[in-house]
């Protein structure tokens, strides 16, 4: 099975790496597509086959193109597979069918049921539940950072590590409203790690860098992959971000500001002034422990760290009974959009 791992944004790297490892372990040919504008952020070295030229992707003669984003050129050969870039089903567009994909590999029952309903409606794609590959590292590496956590707590003389990971969307982000409150968290012997989304407004990032300079227990992390920091942290602060669900799957508490999720089963505050009391209260008594079980069971019940293995098994079996599509029937508008984004090939 010849596979292209299709990256349009840097967040795709961490999602696709477990799949890459699984494909390579089986001796299957793999090509990474990484556009020029994000090539400098590609974090993996070694004997990796990579291109920024869409023509090279076409020449690779794909059986499968795996995409954690919303778009893939319609004119490329191969089974086009959507694996998603997050777990936030309430975000605008998560369940929008753009007709680029032949197969949707879903994370859990909540997503599977919705996409199967849409599959029956549109009749031009299939849906199979496999789990999400990005979370393999989350479950497989849960104890790998114990010594690093102890070192951080000692270095910063802290008792707890709190991760702040706001979304970038201007209408949903808490980064502006919580800016002053974040500085107060460290007063109770907490270390605050801040992980911004790749697309966060640079002006906001610069404001937080100034805060970091004046607060020794506030640390901005620049790693593209947030997994390690989810494992290290005792509590997450966020808003309407997919990272909330990733953290909840570790069965640890979350506090959000004005989340628009339809399935809030964690502490959601409506005003920035409530943040510090909410943190103190949560560390005293975790009132939402039982509620997290619903998220785990419905959003991603696979805690075995084997989602990448399931995905490759699924794709191999699928191709045995389904021919590789020569083309997708999509609208003129979407064809034009793909040519605008990725160019033409002969």
pLDDT higher than threshold 90 for residue 136: yes
User: Could you tell me the pLDDT band of residue 33, with boundaries at 50, 70 and 90?
Assistant: very high
- Angle CA 182–186–190, to nearest 5: 115
The yes-or-no verdict on residue 89 having pLDDT over 80 is: no
Residues 6+ apart with CB under 8 A from 37: none
- Whole-model pTM above 0.95? no
> What is the pLDDT, as a whole number, of residue 87?
86
Question: Which CATH architecture does the domain made up of 143-299 adopt?
Answer: 3-Layer(aba) Sandwich (3.40)
pLDDT of 241 over the 90 cut: no
Which band of pLDDT confidence, cut at 50, 70 and 90, is reported for residue 83?
Answer: very high
User: Where are the chain's structural domains?
Assistant: 3-132+302-342, 143-299
Q: Judge whether 78 and 100 are in contact, CB under 8 Å.
A: no
To 10 degrees, what angle do helices 11-25 and 307-321 make? 70
Q: Which CATH code is given to the segment(s) 3-132+302-342?
A: 3.40.50
- What integer pLDDT is reported at residue 199 of this predicted model? 86
The chain-wide mean pLDDT, for the chain, equals 93
3-class secondary-structure state, position 196: coil
Question: Would you state the pLDDT for residue 190?
Answer: 95
pLDDT digits (tens, 9 = 90+) for 47-77: 999 999 999 999 999 999 999 999 999 999 9
Query: Which residue has tokens 């560390």?
Result: 283
pLDDT at 298 over 90: yes
Q: What pLDDT, on a 0 to 100 scale, did the predictor assign at position 287?
A: 94
Q: Do domains 3-132+302-342 and 143-299 have the same CATH topology?
A: yes
State pLDDT tens for residues 1-16. Answer: 999 999 999 989 999 9
Q: Region 302-314: what's the mean pLDDT?
A: 97
């Amino acid at each position: 099975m010849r596979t292209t791992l299709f990256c349009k944004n840097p967040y795709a790297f961490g999602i696709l790496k477990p799949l890459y490892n699984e494909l390579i372990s089986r001796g299957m040919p793999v090509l990474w597509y990484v556009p020029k504008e994000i090539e400098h952020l590609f974090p993996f070295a070694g004997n990796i086959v990579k291109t920024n030229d869409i023509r090279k992707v076409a020449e690779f003669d794909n059986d499968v193109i795996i995409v954690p984003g919303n778009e893939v050129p319609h004119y490329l050969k191969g089974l086009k597979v959507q694996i998603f870039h997050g777990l936030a089903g309430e975000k605008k567009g998560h369940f929008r069918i753009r007709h680029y994909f032949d197969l949707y590999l879903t994370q859990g029952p909540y997503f599977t049921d919705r996409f199967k309903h849409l599959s029956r409606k549109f009749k031009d794609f299939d849906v199979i539940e496999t789990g999400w590959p990005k979370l393999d590292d989350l479950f497989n590496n849960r104890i790998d950072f114990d010594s690093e956590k102890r070192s951080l707590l000692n270095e910063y003389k802290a008792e707890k590590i709190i991760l702040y990971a706001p979304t970038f969307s201007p209408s949903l982000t808490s980064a502006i409203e919580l800016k002053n409150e974040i500085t107060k968290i460290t007063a109770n012997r907490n270390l605050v790690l801040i992980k911004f989304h790749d697309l966060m407004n640079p002006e906001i990032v610069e404001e937080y860098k100034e805060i970091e300079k004046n607060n020794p227990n506030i640390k901005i992390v620049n790693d593209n992959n947030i997994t390690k920091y989810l494992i290290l942290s005792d509590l997450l602060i966020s808003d309407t971000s997919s990272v909330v669900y990733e953290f909840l799957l570790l069965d640890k508490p979350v506090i959000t500001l004005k989340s628009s999720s339809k399935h809030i089963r964690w502490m959601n505050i409506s005003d920035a002034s409530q943040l510090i009391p909410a943190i103190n209260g949560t560390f005293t008594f975790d009132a939402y422990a039982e509620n997290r079980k619903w998220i785990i069971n419905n959003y991603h019940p696979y805690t075995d760290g084997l989602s990448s293995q399931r995905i490759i098994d699924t794709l191999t079996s699928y191709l045995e009974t389904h021919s590789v599509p020569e083309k997708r029937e999509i609208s003129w508008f979407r064809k034009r959009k793909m040519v605008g984004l990725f160019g033409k090939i002969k």
